[in-house]
Amino acid sequence: MKYGYFDDNKREYVITNPRTPWPWINYLGTKDFFSLISNTAGGYSFCKDAKFRRITRYRYNGVPMDNGGKYFYINDAGTVWNPGWKPCKTELDSYECRHGMNYTIIKGSKNGLEAEVLFFVPLETWAEVQKVTLNNTSDKVKKIQLFSFVEWCLWNAQTDMENFQRNLSTGEVEVDGSVIYHKTEYRERRNHYAYYSVNVPVTGFETDRESFLGLYNGFDEPETVLQGKAKNSIAHGWSPIASHCLEIELQPGESKDLIFVLGYVENDAKEKWESKKVINKTKARQTIARFRSVEDVDKAWSDLKKYWDDLLNAYILKSEDEKLNRMVNTWNQYQCMITFCFSRSASFFESGIGRGMGFRDSNQDLIGFLHQIPERARERIIDIASTQFPDGGCYHQYQPLTKKGNNEIGQGFNDDPMWLIFGTVHYMKETGDFSILDEMVPFDNKPGSEQTLFYHLTVSFDHIIDNLGPHGLPLIGRADWNDCLNLNCFSDNPDESFQTTENKTEGSKAESLMIAGLFVMYGKEYADLCSYIGKHEESVRARKHVANMIDAVKKFGWDGEWFLRAYDFFGKKIGSKENEEGKIFIESNGWCAMAGIGLNEGLVTKALDSVKERLDCEHGIVLNNPAYTTYHIESGEISSYPEGYKENAGIFCHNNPWIMIGETVLGRGDRAWEYYKKICPAYLEELSDLHKVEPYVYAQMIAGKDAYCPGEAKNSWLTGTAAWNYLAITQYILGVRPQYDGLLIDPCIPSDLKSFTVVRRFRGTTYQIEVNNREGSMKGIKQIKVDGKILSGNLLPLIRTDNVVKVEVEM
């Protein structure tokens, strides 16, 4: 069944039933200050870093699900309810949640009272604003009590859940009028605090959790709310919270607006205090003053919506398929921006504690938002490159607060270096900004080690050719893109992580065909770049190594009907017909197909036909087949999963686009389109009870054909699936692809798509590209006209004009 609907005009998904199969969430914030919010107001906030600057607490894997958030309790003559249904779960007369572009509106009604809450983070603001609108729709006077509620996290989200002997003694707050300040540990090493305000006088407050809830009560029956009176508690240790109590009277038909601000402040070390033990509140007061009135809030919300309209208008698709339009124009682009902000760190499937910004992940995420905010992509590339080592290797992750590499994860994922070439090349094709290559970038963030970014690209390239195995194929190291294919791990200890256990690479023969395909595809791009900027000797050298890799793949990486996945520690084949389980894998066949290895000899066609035959199913393309039914210590974590889940024959949506793009290399638009629709969330909305996660964003994983429950999805929002699917649909299926000198027009579309229009902003010029497919072709251009003049070839040249450039394409 469906639990809501798309409102395309407002760029919103509207949830009309609060009992969604999984919490359906949204993200608030564009830079530094962020919140996650579910359709029932669950979630949490942080500034800059979800691990080290967590502001409010959240309970993962809790019972009941999605407990803890930003709640408003209403006590209406003894009937206690929440506009978001949870946590009290009082049956509402009406309910609606609107998830929009960085804002959420939750609205409920009960017994003639409507309560609507707008949640958003204004631009350039370290605070979340909540506008509560109460409307008396009855014919009687309403006298109610409204209680706000947030629970403070003690800053470091990991120690917040571990070090209770300290935590339960450190909590400190201040209350100043209608503002509650959280200042735990501010007296010592911290220079930051949080606050929660309301723009009217309060009749009471709570800052101690047990005083508010009652020691043995849950969020669904808070003692203070049920009693209808705040105790004015001041937290000293234990568990600090912030709750305002307001007495409100509404005449029949009367409405009232209240403005709450949940904010974060950092003070200079010399300006921490107003007086002894009293924090300096100047910055907090300034932010609160900015949102004192409804007009202030509405203006800030309008600015936020305009900001997103400007971003999303960089690429507009007009077709007869409304589901395709809404994904390309709104939700896929939006998810790409959210994923850029967080990599894989903070969601309802990732705690924000164990992972930072991924080296590989962040480079891949660039391709989804480059056309929107290229300047932030430039900054991200420099941050990523700064965590590299002089030999081209790199930290697998880094923390956004410090931008330094995570030692807990370390290095040794041998595909990582090539992704820097991937991200930088895509950036320059979008922007034409070659000056980034001259940017001086340190290694391991060490001052004095700076080299040009181009030099970083060179050592990235060389890291592959300096680490080749006995077949001339890239050594896999700790792992490649599939972190769960741990060929040098040999773990028999359940208490250690597959990804961080000893990397037994000494003497290993473990080689990766996936890295080989990546190297061929983006090694060519590196060589092309070198040629373009006049480094011809380096270009010749690079092409020689790419040619050697192609030869090695053809000689040692082809299994007769598809590409091998790898060789293991002992030099035995993985992803071969010789194997009993795991005969064929998606990654190597996707990358070698995209790279066109053996295209003229028919290898790509055979490989993708084998993918169709062995890996495809009704919910998408599974990662491997047959699934592993026993644990293979020499293969690692992949074989530890039950059949059909995650890397063990699950549908890893992230790599399905590699096959889509591979199909466009062959010109098979119908098949690329078939694969696209199978995992695209807008086409799965009717399957929400099975799919479970949000019908407006991609999930990382869908259970495969071998699973207990095929089609069930997990890990939505933060996944490379977003950027890769956006690349596949916009640049390879719809076929508008940035190049150094213009836009390449090369659609590979389903034969029944008769026409579509792309309005594309590119380097300051807007191109309106109308594609007509009267003959039902899948690939191939008959003619292109630019402003009425026939173009030779299919590369749109750069045109500097304030006018819209009209492009007519005949398939």
Residues acting as catalytic residues: 483
- CA–CA separation, 91 vs 86, rounded Å? 10
Mapping DSSP to helix (H, G, I), strand (E, B) and coil, where does residue 182 land?
strand
For 694-804, list the strands marked E by DSSP: 699-702, 713-716, 736-739, 742-745, 755-762, 765-772, 783-786, 789-790, 795-797
Distance from C-alpha of 795 to C-alpha of 544, rounded to nearest angstrom: 27
Of the candidates 393, 397, 391, 127, the one whose C-alpha atom is nearest the C-alpha of residue 264 is 127
Label residues 244-260 b or e (16+ Cβ within 10 Å = b). bbbebebeeeeebbbbb
DSSP state of 331: I
CA gap 189, 783 in Å, rounded: 67
Q: Give the Cα separation of 592 and 562 in Å (integer).
A: 10
User: Which secondary structure element, helix H or strand E, spans residue 659, and what is its range?
Assistant: helix 656-666
Q: What share of the chain is helix, strand, coil (3-state, %, to 5)?
A: 30, 30, 40
Six token digits for residue 319:
């077709």
Q: Using alpha carbons, select from 388, 331, 267 the residue that is nearest to residue 681.
A: 331
Q: 337: closest CA among 308, 316, 357?
A: 308
* Identity at 543, one-letter amino acid code: R
Residue in 651, 588, 585 with CA at minimum distance from that of residue 620: 651
Nearest to 544 by CA among 492, 614, 602, 472: 472
Scanning the structure block, which residue is given the tokens 């604003």? 129
CA angle 296, 302, 303 (to 5 degrees): 90
